[in-house]
Structure 1
Amino acid sequence: MSEPQKGTDIRDMLLDAAGLSVDKLPMLQIIFDRMATFCADSLRTLAASQAYYSLSHVESGRIGDILEMYEANAVAGIFHAPTWDNHIIVGFDRDFIFSMVEVLFGADGSEPPFDDERNFSTIENRIAQMLFEQAGKALQASFALVSDTPFKFERQETRMDFAVIGRRNNMAVAAKFLLQALGRGGEMFVIIPQSALTPMRQVLSRVISGESNAGDPNWSRQIRTEVKKASVPLRAVLEERSIMLDEVAHFKVGQVLELQATPASRVKLEANEQPLFWCQLGQTEGSYKLRVEEVFDPEKEFINDLLSS
């Protein structure tokens, strides 16, 4: 047997050979608990009924063995973590997707749970993609305690043998979460190759807080003051409509364009082409005015577009 290179810690060599022990990485439990909280918080803005995420357990195993349990019963999202130079998998089982559809579309739980072995529909796949994007944000915010890396969603797969992130016999850590809503639920899972976590094993082996050292308070105060002085143009949009270019080409001076909007229609308030609020149009002392009623929520608008399409 060759001798270890000078400067190499024999303990690191033994850890690399034996793989990671989840029991010796307490920060993983904290990170995944935070992920469950972030996922639940993001769902509250979309659903009228309460939905709860909870971390079930964290385990290690071979990637192929973990995925095999979900074959023909789940949809998987493949994410790239560029800082780690690795890919990870986030997945939702069939019960999770069916429960989430009922939650997002306003069901009250009076109907029996949907149970069908059919393929996922187009709307269900689109909802899954939206949930994958939320999960990526939750992962990034949770792992920020130990590593600042984005999780870029690349694609989704319904066949687990296509959810390839390396050799199927490679070791990985799998976190499993339970969704509870409307008296039913489902399971979300996250699979991270051990090769991505090994460089972080020392920081994952001890519990650290999520608070960072405070910066210079005077500098922070000056930045806030200068930002507040910035001029921001606002635009109120009463109605938007798509028409053919040929119609625009035949516009004439004095032509009247009819709108479907009424004085009771909501007005979208924008800044720098970014929607901010829904407002109510009014009039006072001969001038039009807007009353802010609701924050513009892009994910909620996405669901409304699905319902109207």
Structure 2
Amino acid sequence: MNKVLTSQEIEAEGASLIDEIIRLSDFTFDRLPMLDIIGERLVENLSVAFPDLTRAMCEAKLTSLDYIPLAQVMESLPAPVLLAVGAGVPFDGEILLVIDRTLLLTAIELMLGGSAKHIDTESTQAFTAIELGFGERLAAAVLAELQRALSVVGRAALELDRVDTDPEAAAIAKNSSLCARMRLSVSMAGHVGLLDVVIPYDALEPIRPDLGKIYFGNRGEDQSTWHDLISGQIERAQMDLEVVLAQEAIPIQKIMSWQPGDTVDFGIEEGEDATMTCADAPMFKVSLGKRNNGFIAVQITEKITDKEEPENDGNDN
């Protein structure tokens, strides 16, 4: 149902729109479509990096990309808030990360092994030195993933310079300077926090021509970003292995006659050959043995190639 506005509300909204048009007319800038792509890549990177850091699932989303003066960024900051300043290639100046209280405290609780169910997101109490220390780790992780996202337009090398909670101490440009602000929503452990990446428009000067056109490929030295990302996840994955000691065909009438306590003799002795499988696919040939502590163990004797089928003499495998 459409809302009916009074004449005063219509006049107020019209005045607000006019003020916004006048404000933007004071700046001469071109929108940079590649920043949207970099923001989406940053979201994808953080969705992998944060779980590695916090051991919890994370869902990140790029909610907006605005071009606003730094003064407007600073005026909208909540209190308290973590401000992290970084610098490096390809920027000509400093950039600012804004991490709100919810995101910071949730990440800290998870990094310490907690569940983050009962964190106080409404408090205005200043951060402790320990919380600021964890904030440095979180900000450094964000800068590392931003560096990887920037590889789409060229070589990048970013470092964390400092963290602070005072907006004046974390100022990266004049209040009147135009900035590009990428706002990300990050959901972890049932809490939704905000992360802003604020980049002064002047700091983008070295790569502004590349940001003004759409380009989906990677340039620069880092050509294996996604390869490394996927490889890292595969290496941390777990897989179940099974050792098939023996296979034997037994009449179903005999199986149905079995009772608790009956013994089925497969004739397996120490040193017998077996096959190690993963998801029913043969991986290795192994030899059965026993360790000094009495536990059964197997020794890998041969790797089974894709074309090689495991030997099956009908007795053991």
Specify the alignment match of 1:121 in structure 2. Answer: 128
1:177 has 2:184 as partner: yes
Partner amino acid, structure 1, of 2:72: D
Q: Is the 8 A contact 1:28 1:204 kept in 2?
A: yes
Q: TM-score, normalised by structure 1?
A: 0.59
Work out the CA distance in 2 between the residues paired with 1:86 and 1:125.
Answer: 24
Write the distance in 2 (CA, Å) between the matches of 1:213 and 1:152: 18
Matches within 5 A, 1:23-172: 25-70=32-77, 72-108=79-115, 110-111=117-118, 113-172=120-179
Q: CA deviation at 1:171?
A: 0.7
Write the mapping of 1:197-236 to structure 2, written as runs, cut at 5 A: 197-211=204-218
Q: Contact conserved, 1:80 with 1:151, CA < 8 A, in 2?
A: yes
State how 1:272-291 maps to structure 2 within 5 Å: none
Going from structure 1 to structure 2, the CA distance change for 1:203 and 1:107 (only over 3 Å counts) comes to same
1:20 matched residue in structure 2? 29
Structure with bigger gyration radius: 2
Report the CA distance shift for 1:198/1:156 in structure 2 as closer, same or farther (over 3 A): same
TM-score, normalised to structure 2, is 0.57
CA distance in 2, matches of 1:124, 1:33: 28
CA gap of 1:169–1:178, structure 2 versus 1, over 3 A, is: same
Structure 2 unmatched ranges of 5 or more: 1-25, 222-289, 293-317
TM-aligned CA distance change 1:200 to 1:46, over 3 Å: closer
Quote the offset at 1:284 in angstroms. 6.4
| Structure 2 CA distance for aligned equivalents of residues 213 and 115 of structure 1 | 44
C-alpha distance in 1, partners of 2:160/2:131? 17
Change (3 A) 1:170 1:71: same
Matched residue count: 200
Which residue of the other structure, out of 172, 176, 194, is the alignment partner of 1:187?
194
Give 1:83 shift. Answer: 4.1
Q: What displacement does 1:82 show?
A: 4.5
The Cα shift of 1:150 comes to: 1.1
How far 1:173 moved relative to its partner? 0.5
1:33-75 residue CA offsets vs partner (Å, 9 max, x unmatched): 1112212211222333312111111001111210221153311
Whether the 8 Å CA contact 2:27–2:178 is kept in 1: the answer is no
- Kindly, what percent of the aligned residue pairs are identical? 20
Which letter does structure 2 place at the counterpart of 1:37?
E
- For 2:128, the aligned partner's letter is S
Partner Cα distance (1:110, 1:200) in 2: 42
Q: In the alignment, what sits opposite 1:292?
A: none
